[in-house]
Amino acid sequence: MATADFEANSDVFEEEEETHLFSSVPPSLQSPARAHACFSQARPPTHVLVAIVLCSFIAIFTGSWWYLSPSDLRSPPSAAVQDCGTSAAEALARGCQFDAMSFSWLPPACFDAPLMQDFLRQRDWQWFLDPAGQQAVPSARALTGEYDKLYVTREYHLLHCLYMWRKMHRAVLFGEGRGAVDGYIANIAHTEHCGRMLLHQPPHAIDSSDGLQVVDTYIFVKFVLCGPAVWADGDKEGGRRPGWYRVVGGEKVFTIPEGP
């Protein structure tokens, strides 16, 4: 496979600050209520939001830690960068797994199966074909990685961020250091995106079940790189070189979609 593709578009994350994995549905595709619930609204009191986020994180973290032991993580990858090819079939042939938390294909060494199962147990997650949330996709189908893009709730987006942070810490602590940290969570742009998204949630978005269940986010399939070299290359660009790609027409693309 050509290696030049990984070098392309190193500044994509500077240009696409507000969306990395998850992209808010444009207001034009939302109902008035959904458009009002976009992430660009007025900031709630910081101390209230921080308290809610911390309590949620602690509850999820402590409630499931007992069965997520260090031995659950796979052995670290080799020094070379591993990838999952350019299709679901190729990914499966290479032993890659589809991760529901990040909606990505991951090489075995960077796949945290117990943590993903914990994420799936937290809620009765739903995936949709449309931004109105009317055309549900069975979970068994959604988790095959065959859909290029699906729509999810605000709550899915919030917990995605929490679980990506957990995955980072588990990989660093129990996965032989940088070797088990994949190219998606290794990139600081995603951490910054999640931080901005959490801080800018309007109060009604997190203080009621109705606000959390708004379908205002779409997710798209990515192929994530794995291996220590992912970190080394990212360091050259201040941690912003993309460690993942999507596939369009059989070609690797290192940018997020322009819109639904």
Most confident of 63-77, 100-114, 233-247: 100-114
pLDDT value of position 129: 96
Give the pair of three-digit tokens for residue 225. 């790189």
The residue assigned the tokens 């192929």 is 223
Residue 191: CB atoms within 10 Å: 17
Are 215 and 151 a contacting pair, CB within 8 Å?
yes
Mean pLDDT confidence for 42-48:
47
End-to-end CA distance of the chain: 29
pLDDT value of position 131: 93
pLDDT value of position 56: 53
pLDDT value of position 37: 31
Mean pLDDT, all residues of the chain: 72
Domain limits of the chain?
4-253
Confidence band of 243 (pLDDT split at 50, 70, 90): confident
Are 148 and 88 a contacting pair, CB within 8 Å?
no
Give long-range contacts, CB 8 A cutoff, 24+ apart: 83-87: 83/1, 83/107, 83/223, 83/224, 83/225, 83/226, 84/223, 84/224, 85/1, 85/223, 86/223, 86/247, 86/250, 86/251, 86/252, 87/247, 87/250
What backbone phi and psi angles, to 5 degrees, belong to 237? -115, 30
DSSP lists the bridge partners of residue 248 as 251
Residue 175: CB atoms within 10 Å: 22
Are 250 and 85 a contacting pair, CB within 8 Å?
no
Cα-based distances in Å from 251 to 7, 87, 95: 14, 10, 21
Nearest CA-CA partner of 119 in 104, 136, 132: 104
Which of 12-26, 67-81, 197-211 has the weakest average pLDDT? 12-26
Residue 82 pLDDT exceeds 70: yes
Which pLDDT tens digit goes with each residue over 108-162? 999 999 999 999 999 999 999 999 999 999 999 999 999 999 999 989 998 999 9
Give the pair of three-digit tokens for residue 81. 């960068």
Confidence band of 30 (pLDDT split at 50, 70, 90): very low
- Evaluated on CA atoms 77, 89, 165, 189, the torsion sign reads positive
Most confident of 20-24, 68-72, 137-141, 229-233: 137-141
Q: Whole-angstrom Cα distance, residue 115 to residue 142?
A: 18
How far does CA 26 lie from the centroid of its chain?
Answer: 19
